[in-house]
A and B are shown apart, each in its own frame.
Chain A
Amino acid sequence: AQTVTQSQPEMSVQEAETVTLSCTYDTSENNYYLFWYKQPPSRQMILVIRQEAYKQQNATENRFSVNFQKAAKSFSLKISDSQLGDTAMYFCAFMRGNAGNMLTFGGGTRLMVKP
């Protein structure tokens, strides 16, 4: 079974600064996908960024980028130029390829962006 661990329950960052959220996972699979989801106070689950395990290049979406270390089973999220609207709960998630669509989530990191 897969497990996903987020070791930082809460973090804070000053507006305009950069913050990195950590995520580690455990799997014996070779084909899989990793995700970061954002959950603002509205509770909506919003996909922030996705990484395919077979791709060596780290994914980037505007101010959001990941550091994917496959051998270390690490998948951190970097948020640059933090904005007040980035305040939210962030979840790291794992999905096996070719084996259903179940997402396995970490426990979440609550991020507060301070003005």
Chain B
Amino acid sequence: EAQVTQNPRYLITVTGKKLTVTCSQNMNHEYMSWYRQDPGLGLRQIYYSMNVEVTDKGDVPEGYKVSRKEKRNFPLILESPSPNQTSLYFCASSLGLAGAFTYNEQFFGPGTRLTVL
């Protein structure tokens, strides 16, 4: 089954304790990205990757790191989590970039609920 998976689905941690949220897709997609969802703000992009070893910042990258060593995986790293990073996190992937007249659907993972105490 074609899908984007995330682990863990739920995580409660304490301030300053490094954590990694994994994201994996089995569709051979080139593009992957991370979003966070907060009430009233919708989803905002944190980081994205257009291919292996190519990553770039989205709108809210502060406090996060990513890596893309393999095409299928795109982990999100919080080196020193803080309470303002308590949020719902989504990984998404798509086959390629949208052109002027072509579009590839983005597939979202199931979400990771993170609480930082």
Chain A interfacial positions (CB closer than 8 Å to B):
4, 9, 31, 33, 42-45, 47, 50, 52, 54, 91, 93, 95-98, 100-103, 105-108
Give the residue name and chain of the B residue nearest to A33 (CB). Answer: B103
- B61 on the A face (CB < 8 A): no
Tell me, in angstroms, the Cα distance from A103 to B103 when the chains sit together.
Answer: 12
- Sample 10 A-B pairs with CB under 8 A, ordered by A number: A9-B40, A43-B111, A45-B111, A52-B103, A91-B42, A93-B43, A96-B98, A101-B31, A101-B94, A105-B43
Give the residue name and chain of the B residue nearest to A35 (CB). Answer: B106
Residues 90-117 of chain B: 1 if any A CB is under 8 Å from the residue's CB, otherwise 0? 1010100111110111101011010000
How many residues in B have their beta carbons less than 8 Å from beta carbons of A?
Answer: 30
For the complex formed, measure the closest distance between the CB of B99 and the CB atoms of chain A, giving whole angstroms.
6
For the complex formed, measure the closest distance between the CB of A78 and the CB atoms of chain B, giving whole angstroms.
21
Tell me, in angstroms, the Cα distance from A7 to B67 when the chains sit together.
Answer: 37
Tell me, in angstroms, the Cα distance from A96 to B103 when the chains sit together.
Answer: 10
- Given A43-B111, A91-B43, A106-B42: A100 and B101 within 8 A (CB)? no
Known: A33-B103, A43-B111; 6 extra A-B contacts, CB below 8 A, are A31-B101, A44-B108, A44-B110, A45-B92, A93-B43, A105-B43
Tell me, in angstroms, the Cα distance from A52 to B58 when the chains sit together.
Answer: 23
Which residues of chain A have C-beta atoms less than 8 A from B45's C-beta?
102-103
Tell me, in angstroms, the Cα distance from A103 to B104 when the chains sit together.
Answer: 12
- B44 on the A face (CB < 8 A): yes
Which residues of chain B have C-beta atoms less than 8 A from A98's C-beta?
97-100
- Given A43-B110, A95-B98: A105 and B42 within 8 A (CB)? yes
Give the residue name and chain of the B residue nearest to A39 (CB). Answer: B37
Tell me, in angstroms, the Cα distance from A105 to B98 when the chains sit together.
Answer: 17
B33's partner among A33, A97, A102, A107 (CB-CB below 8 A) is A102
Are A107 and B40 neighbours in the complex by a CB distance under 8 Å? yes
Which residues of chain A have C-beta atoms less than 8 A from B52's C-beta?
none
For the complex formed, measure the closest distance between the CB of B46 and the CB atoms of chain A, giving whole angstroms.
10
What 4 pairs between A and B have smallest CB-CB spacing? A105-B42, A45-B108, A31-B100, A43-B111
